Amino acid sequence: MVEPTTIMPDPSIKKVSASGPSTLSVHAGEARVKPGFSITDPIFAASTYTFPDTQAIVDFLEQGEPREEYGRYGNPGERVVEEKLAALDSGEASVLFASGMAAFVGLLMAHVNAGDEIVFFDECYHRSREFCRRHLSRFGVGFREVRTCDYDAMEAAITPKTKFIISESPTNPHLSVVDVDRFAEIGRRNGVLTLIDATLCTPYNLKPLEAGVDFVLHSATKYLGGHNDLLAGVVTGSAELLDPVRNLRGIMGGVNSPHNAYLLERGLKTLALRMERHNANGQAVAEFLAGHPRVERVLYPGLPDHPFHAIAKQTMRGFGGLVTFFLRDADWQQTAAVIDAVQIPRIGPSLGGVESLIEQPMVMSYWNYTPEERAEFRIADNMVRMACGIEDADDLIADLSAAFEVSE
């Protein structure tokens, strides 16, 4: 006779209650007794889940007991990750998607209707804005954007049709930092939903829900996964507002496979530790760059001359691993020469993994744009974006220093 707990966790055994980000990233969402008494969660490699008899199906449909039915509606590993992420962001519920963009599209498709309008701060991720401008517009949803952190312009752009106001914080690659309290207050006062894409700060550095924002979204591909080895996305908020999002996900089908969900759960275990190092490396690299003669300007919220340093310091635990800088008197080829001379960071898009990455936004993300469009997005030819990983700051700095010399 096999004991039930060797097959399924006993839900009567309480989960850990804690509030620290390190404890939560290790334990939150996980059962204390797992199948096989394993310390780690199993990967249920299943597309479907069976019932012992017809009455069990009827009971499930009528009483909605917490169990799985079919993989497109969720899998057990995914639920663990959702609970962990909700706990980390102090939210009631999370819905996990196959990518950050799937989460963004799923959230908006669940909540906007023809005739609604969306207002964006203009430094939001270009694919998010593209989805609204090119695609939601086909369904009669209006779209406006205002200068990032211009709260008066945001307020002025809100009309009775406005359903959502959206920003990222910090923004990428300009690293503008939104005053989330003010942003949430504008939403509440005008009766519109608020969304912060907090991919760059993670719940370790800031929790927008605590400021009263309705939804927080992360590309879990970045810091949450943390190892440059998976794609995932998550939206967190109240259970009531996320219910339609979960339902639509079951129809659109952008779910995580059990294997991918496990990889994310494993990555999340070290979130707090990794963020401490990303924050420290970002700060050290930014300070080094700010003092280097070949660098014209550095954008990093942890530097006192950053336009949003005051609000960042007031609201964030740390400022992350992303550092943007501009080379002095350099055209795009001279800028590329510095990137090509760097030895430790790999050249590529993305951020938030243990390996440092470096790139020139003008080439990597805006090559097919006209110079006028690049100017509109404030993407300069001499702009470099470095996503500091968790290597030793001294090594990263020595590497950049040598690259400046070699490329001169």
Ligand X SMILES: *Cc1c(COP(=O)(O)O)cnc(C)c1O
Chain residues that interact with ligand X, rule: CB under 6 A: 99-101, 125, 168, 172, 197, 199-200, 219, 221-222, 231, 233
7 by DSSP, 3-state: which?
coil
Q: Look up 313 and say whether it is catalytic.
A: no
Task: Work out how close the CB of 155 gets to ligand X at its nearest, in angstroms, rounded to a whole number.
Answer: 24
Between residues 199 and 315, which has the closer beta carbon with respect to ligand X?
Answer: 199
CA distance 299 to 387: 12
Q: Which residue has the tokens 């204390």?
A: 32
What's the chain's length in residues? Answer: 408
Residues 6+ apart with CB under 8 A from 232: 96, 97, 98, 99, 100, 219, 220, 221, 224, 225, 256, 260, 261, 264
Between residues 26 and 255, which has the closer beta carbon with respect to ligand X?
Answer: 255
Cα distances (Å, whole numbers) of residue 51 to 9, 45, 56, 73, 157: 17, 17, 6, 16, 53
Between residues 222 and 246, which has the closer beta carbon with respect to ligand X?
Answer: 222
Task: Work out how close the CB of 47 gets to ligand X at its nearest, in angstroms, rounded to a whole number.
Answer: 23
Instruction: Identify the active-site residue in 41, 122, 125, 399.
Output: 125
236 by DSSP, 3-state: which?
strand
What is the per-residue DSSP string for 146-173? E-TT-HHHHHHH--TTEEEEEEESS-TT
CA distance 81 to 88: 10
Q: Look up 84 and say whether it is catalytic.
A: no
Between residues 200 and 261, which has the closer beta carbon with respect to ligand X?
Answer: 200
Q: Using CB atoms, what's the residue nearest to ligand X?
A: 100
Q: Look up 125 and say whether it is catalytic.
A: yes
Element (H, E) at 265: helix 258-268
Q: Which residues pair with 3 in a beta bridge?
A: none
Instruction: Identify the active-site residue in 89, 197, 214, 381.
Output: 197
Task: Work out how close the CB of 45 gets to ligand X at its nearest, in angstroms, rounded to a whole number.
Answer: 23
Between residues 26 and 206, which has the closer beta carbon with respect to ligand X?
Answer: 206
Residues 6+ apart with CB under 8 A from 321: 223, 278, 279, 281, 282, 351, 352, 387, 388, 389
Side-by-side strand order, sheet with 295-299: 295-299, 322-327, 383-387, 357-359, 346-347
Q: Look up 374 and say whether it is catalytic.
A: no
Q: Which residues pair with 248 in a beta bridge?
A: none
Between residues 233 and 318, which has the closer beta carbon with respect to ligand X?
Answer: 233
Instruction: Identify the active-site residue in 15, 72, 269, 313.
Output: 72
Task: Work out how close the CB of 103 gets to ligand X at its nearest, in angstroms, rounded to a whole number.
Answer: 8
Task: Work out how close the CB of 145 gets to ligand X at its nearest, in angstroms, rounded to a whole number.
Answer: 15
Number of H helices, E strands in the chain: 16, 12
Q: Which residues pair with 84 in a beta bridge?
A: none
Task: Work out how close the CB of 100 gets to ligand X at its nearest, in angstroms, rounded to a whole number.
Answer: 2
Task: Work out how close the CB of 224 gets to ligand X at its nearest, in angstroms, rounded to a whole number.
Answer: 10
Instruction: Identify the active-site residue in 34, 129, 222, 294.
Output: 222
Between residues 102 and 303, which has the closer beta carbon with respect to ligand X?
Answer: 102
Catalytic positions: 72, 125, 197, 222
